[in-house]
Structure 1
Amino acid sequence: MHKGKGMKFVGDSRISAERKPNIPKDYSEYPGRTEAFWPNFLLKEWLAGSVFLVGFLCLTIADPTPLEGMADPTDAGYIPLPDWYFLFLYQLLKYDFASGPFVLIGIIVIPGLAFGGLLLAPFLDKGPGRRPHRRPVAVGMMLLALVSVFWLTYESASEVNWEQRAEANQPIPPSEQTDIDKDSDGYKVFKDNCMSCHGEDLQGGASAPPLIGVDHSVDEVKDIAQNGIGSMPAGQFSGSDEELQTLAEFIVSVNKDEDDN
């Protein structure tokens, strides 16, 4: 070829001579399958999140969660419970196959299988469809997880008397707190025999009522300490008769001081 005006240098025919920016195709080329992220998709996500947030706030206003008193490490009768979103794991550990000698199954094996299935879901179900009937593995795993979580949470929550628990563990306002002489002989006897259930400040616990605000005589307190009352079994007091008298007088005096205040 002679050099001249019509001469062109040609490269690989598979490579375009014109450079184009590396951008995805416009969503209009896929009708019915996608939409613009801004503002269409983002607006839908924002509206869905707002509806959920407003509904959740209305629920907390209509049925607020009761507060409990300050943590008391001396209250051996207090039964701690996890937050509501962990109640299903708490319930799982109550079953024989996931507790006791098989506790490793409940805390490692079963949760490990659940999270492992979640990680393997994209590899177990590679179908391109988005409809539920085209994704049987992913949909089945999701339904199994939801049913398990809801059922275990319901079972755990139904076993707890929430009103009684809130009443027994409610915080005592500063204006209603009673001054207790913790250096007295009566408090020392109380500490050795009663504090594990009735609390450091006689405020009660999950398994025992408060000893503040009771209207009993010295003899009645002695009889309850020895013979029990309600859910309190007999034989809880293990001291001498003199210590029992001191304890009863201490409890009565505390409530008398409260009435005077």
Structure 2
Amino acid sequence: MQRGKGMKFVGDSRIKTAEHRKPNIPKDYSEYPGKTEAFWPNFLLKEWMVGAVFLVGYLCLTVAHPSPLERIADPTDTAYIPLPDWYFLFLYQLLKYTYASGPYNVIGALVIPGLAFGALMLAPFIDRGPHRRPAKRPFAVGFMLLAIAAIFFLTWESASTHDWEAAKKQGEIVAESSVDKESEGYKVFNASGCISCHGAELTGGASAPTLLDTGLTPEEVAKIAKEGQGAMPAGMFKGSDEDLEKLAEFISNAKSE
């Protein structure tokens, strides 16, 4: 019998060799152009560090300049103009255009944003080039610049055309009122439509002043209700003289807490 004849060698994959016991050394990427480090943990650690810097800066900004509080929402105030946060201003401005508002509201709210953000999500799959230089990736760079320019322009247009003085006034925290909503005067106030501008608590809105602590006599209130004053045109009150008397007495005696 020859030496080794009939012998079989069996390997067990469960037994780790010396190579498996080596420390976790990142693979050498120098043979691949444009890739000089491993994604984990080198590149990902840098991403986390940059994200942490921005997060700490954002937290410091929120502490130094807290968001201003407005008064309690009043669903009866139809003059209130809501304004979204700054990062949604470009979408808010888009809905102001005729082709994206009114009967075409679905286009401005769903179709255009859906196409834009869908294209951004598909960009990595469409442009799969290995290059990192912007000049060699015209599709991805061009679309990203277009998106940034559109967002910047729409945000700027929304901020520059918004009436910030009226917005500040309509959101001011005012004193609470002790209005008797069961009184005859309040019922006339509600039925005549005054509530739509002056609010359920008589605190006013963006286009209407408060009716609390006016210091006016019932006769002066009745005159304003019939003849108008400021932004309020004449002939707004169309009730009877009896109802006008109740309304004038009610507004004249309306006080804040």
TM-score, scaled relative to structure 2:
0.79
- Number of the residue aligned with 1:192: 191
Counterparts of 1:19-30 in structure 2 under 5 Å?
A: 26-30=26-30
**Residue identity opposite 1:66 in structure 2:** P
Unaligned runs of 5+ in 2: 10-16
* 1:55-103, Cα deviation, whole Å (9 max, x unpaired): 3234334443322222322222223333332222221111122223333
Structure 1 Cα separation of the partners of residues 135 and 200 of structure 2: 60
Change (3 A) 1:104 1:29: closer
Change (3 A) 1:51 1:214: farther
Unaligned runs of 5+ in 1: 11-17
> Would you say the 8 A contact 1:169–1:204 is kept in 2?
no
**Residue identity opposite 2:249 in structure 1:** E
Are 1:83 and 2:85 counterparts?
Answer: yes
- Number of the residue aligned with 2:118: 116
Structure 2 Cα separation of the partners of residues 211 and 7 of structure 1: 108
Structure 2 Cα separation of the partners of residues 105 and 37 of structure 1: 40
Deviation at 1:220, TM superposition (A): 2.6
Structure 2 Cα separation of the partners of residues 39 and 26 of structure 1: 8
Deviation at 1:128, TM superposition (A): 0.8
> Would you say the 8 A contact 2:29–2:37 is kept in 1?
no
> Would you say the 8 A contact 1:186–1:250 is kept in 2?
yes
Deviation at 1:253, TM superposition (A): 0.8
**Residue identity opposite 1:182 in structure 2:** K
Residues matched between the structures, number: 245
> Would you say the 8 A contact 2:29–2:38 is kept in 1?
no
Change (3 A) 1:101 1:180: closer
- Number of the residue aligned with 2:14: none
* 1:171-207, Cα deviation, whole Å (9 max, x unpaired): 34xxx42311111111111112211111111111233
Deviation at 1:246, TM superposition (A): 1.7
> Would you say the 8 A contact 1:225–1:236 is kept in 2?
yes
**Residue identity opposite 2:98 in structure 1:** D
Change (3 A) 1:62 1:166: farther
Aligned residues: CA RMSD: 3.2
- Number of the residue aligned with 1:210: 210
Structure 1 Cα separation of the partners of residues 19 and 186 of structure 2: 86
Change (3 A) 1:39 1:169: same
**Residue identity opposite 2:237 in structure 1:** F
Structure 2 Cα separation of the partners of residues 217 and 64 of structure 1: 42
Deviates more, 1:161-170 or 1:133-142: 161-170
Structure 2 Cα separation of the partners of residues 45 and 81 of structure 1: 33
> Would you say the 8 A contact 2:185–2:250 is kept in 1?
yes
- Number of the residue aligned with 1:127: 129
Change (3 A) 1:38 1:137: closer
Change (3 A) 1:123 1:49: closer
Deviation at 1:124, TM superposition (A): 2.6
TM-score, scaled relative to structure 1:
0.78
- Number of the residue aligned with 2:225: 225
> Would you say the 8 A contact 1:168–1:209 is kept in 2?
no
SS at match of 2:185: helix
